[in-house]
Amino acid sequence: MDKGVDTGRTVQVGNREIYFTEFGSGPAVVLLHGGGPGATGLSNYSRNIEALAEHFRVLVLDMPGYGRSSKYIDQSDPFGYLARVLGEFLDALQIDSAHLIGNSYGGAAALRLAMDRPDKVGRLILMGPGGVGSTRALPTKGLQELLAYYPGSGPSREKIIRFIREFLVYDGATVPDEVIEERYRASIDPEVVASPPLRRPSGLFALRTLWRMDFTRDARLSEVAHPTLVVWGEDDKVNRPSGGRMLAETMPNCDLYLVARTGHWAQWERAELFNTLAIAYLRAER
């Protein structure tokens, strides 16, 4: 993808500003990035946008709390808040419904929108989504690393290098230095440092928040009838691949694809395979 010209714009969604970039034409497909430090829509999907835009109207968001979008997130129900903003974003653009592709944090937002406002969602493609069985086991080492990025000594190049090379992908040597530097620069935005978007629930109602953030505790999950493709790296060190089986066994129209020798960033690590799967799935008759 040519990153030389930024053609993005901002739309007002309630009292928030959501930044997005649009490519191609056809049925609307919204790309929702993960929640790692310094993540943005364009960086998360740099290897997918061009291929998808040959078939679809592709909208690439900076999620609330990231990039050029407004930074506030309701920490009492983060995934519910993200889903509400996403639904209102589609309303603001007068998009009746859209296919959603979500990685990790973005996958959780997509799944929650399908539960809260099913009419706004066409098909779902979820890569290692958050919120799946998260209260049924201790956090993974990768998730612990992610959540430890801002607390304590604060953000640093050393922390982000370790997270990306050791926990985000299967083979850290494949991630160019410039990708890490771009992520680091975005991660030290003063607004983000002051109020990190992804953090451990705390306070009096922390347990309630944790419960809300685990979709396997929500009876509505079994009612999400949207055609759903779950893509999960078998070597994901952030969200456990067993979550894919949980979704496939609970959701009535859920297909599961486990990707060998792949970590948490399947759409980037195995871009050609992912693009082929995604295009075929979104264009399928059923």
Q: What is the pLDDT of residues 40-66, one digit of tens each?
A: 999 999 999 999 999 999 999 999 999
pLDDT band at 86 (very low <50, low <70, confident <90, very high): very high
Look at residue 285 in the predicted model and tell me its pLDDT: 74
pTM of the predicted model, to two decimals?
0.95
DSSP 118: G
* 206/189 Cα distance (integer angstroms): 26
In degrees to the nearest 10, what's the CA dihedral of 9, 15, 16, 20?
A: -30
Look at residue 206 in the predicted model and tell me its pLDDT: 84
pLDDT over 60 at 35, yes or no: yes
The backbone torsions φ and ψ at residue 15, rounded to the nearest 5 degrees and listed phi first, read: -100, 20
Which residues, other chains included, contact 144 with Cβ-Cβ below 8 Å and sequence gap of 6+? none
Q: Which of 152, 142, 2, 130 is nearest to 63 (CA)?
A: 130
pLDDT band at 1 (very low <50, low <70, confident <90, very high): low
The backbone torsions φ and ψ at residue 271, rounded to the nearest 5 degrees and listed phi first, read: -60, -45
Look at residue 4 in the predicted model and tell me its pLDDT: 42
Look at residue 30 in the predicted model and tell me its pLDDT: 98
Do the Cβ atoms of 257 and 277 come closer than 8 Å?
Answer: yes
The region of weakest confidence among 69-73, 202-206, 218-222 is: 202-206
For the segment 185-196, the average pLDDT, to the nearest whole number, is: 94
DSSP 166: I
Q: Which of 123, 149, 136 is nearest to 35 (CA)?
A: 149
CA angle 91, 94, 96 (to 5 degrees): 80
pLDDT over 90 at 5, yes or no: no
For the segment 188-213, the average pLDDT, to the nearest whole number, is: 88
Token pair 């943005």: residue: 40
Burial class (CB in 10 A: 0-12, 13-18, 19+), 273: middle
* 55/215 Cα distance (integer angstroms): 31
pLDDT band at 3 (very low <50, low <70, confident <90, very high): very low
* 74/201 Cα distance (integer angstroms): 11
User: Active site includes 264?
Assistant: yes
Angle between helical axes of 105-116 and 78-92 (0-180°, round to 10) = 70
Q: Which amino acid is at 111?
A: L
pLDDT over 90 at 200, yes or no: no
* 227/186 Cα distance (integer angstroms): 34
Do the Cβ atoms of 82 and 56 come closer than 8 Å?
Answer: no
- For the record, the structure tokens of 169 come out as 């992908």
* 116/175 Cα distance (integer angstroms): 36
The backbone torsions φ and ψ at residue 179, rounded to the nearest 5 degrees and listed phi first, read: -65, -45
* 183/43 Cα distance (integer angstroms): 8
Q: Which of 119, 66, 113 is nearest to 85 (CA)?
A: 113
Among the listed residues 33, 99, 226, 264, the single catalytic one is 264
- For the record, the structure tokens of 19 come out as 């930044």
